[in-house]
Structure 1
Amino acid sequence: MTREEYLQHIHKFEGKLLDKESFAKFPESKEKEDIGKIVVMMKEQGFNPDVYRLDEIPIKGVYYVELAVSERGIDYFSIQDDGDALVPHYTTIKHDENGYNCFPCATIQESIDKMEC
């Protein structure tokens, strides 16, 4: 997929609910495949994907998902493609000694709880 195709696709995903009806309308792509895996992960961890929306795909392989019924920026989490798997991450205000402020974690709930920005 070219950069232009990627940019065209993300606008078809961003802001959309993760319910079955919306998901069915997503264009076939790596992003749709990843979002499907995120939906499965959410269900396995006790979250209802029907009330969450894909807020942003800031860069390829990084997904920000938020609760659609709450104030923006509350109850959101990040999932990143780490090469082998999609892994929840959280972002801190301060950077570590290597300049990073985004870290992997074990669950979506941990991502929500530790997310600072």
Structure 2
Amino acid sequence: MSTTPELLAATAVLAAGTFAFRLAGPALRSRVTLPPQAERLLNVAVVVLLAALVATSALTDAHSLTGPARPAGVAAGALCAWRKAPFLAVVLVAAATTALLRLLSVP
């Protein structure tokens, strides 16, 4: 088991590394140029990563599939977002849809 000073040192090193990575982006943006194809690929990668995160969060719970209530709530929220509703409305519609379905005993 690690001791408290070791944990504090590891936390400080990780915090410094995280800060350095975050600082490097804006600091090096003007010095590093990517080819247009790489920039397009990175833009697509961001969308794919966010879609995978939403799918994982919406469809699974503790390494098993959820019932239809949560995905239905996410779909309702996605529909509102697609229709350019305010963020608060998107969240409230998603939560209300899920809550209503669970109130109706839909898992």
TM-score range, shorter chain: under 0.3
- Structure with bigger helix share is 2
Normalized against structure 2, the TM-score is what? 0.24
Normalized against structure 1, the TM-score is what? 0.23
Larger radius of gyration: 2
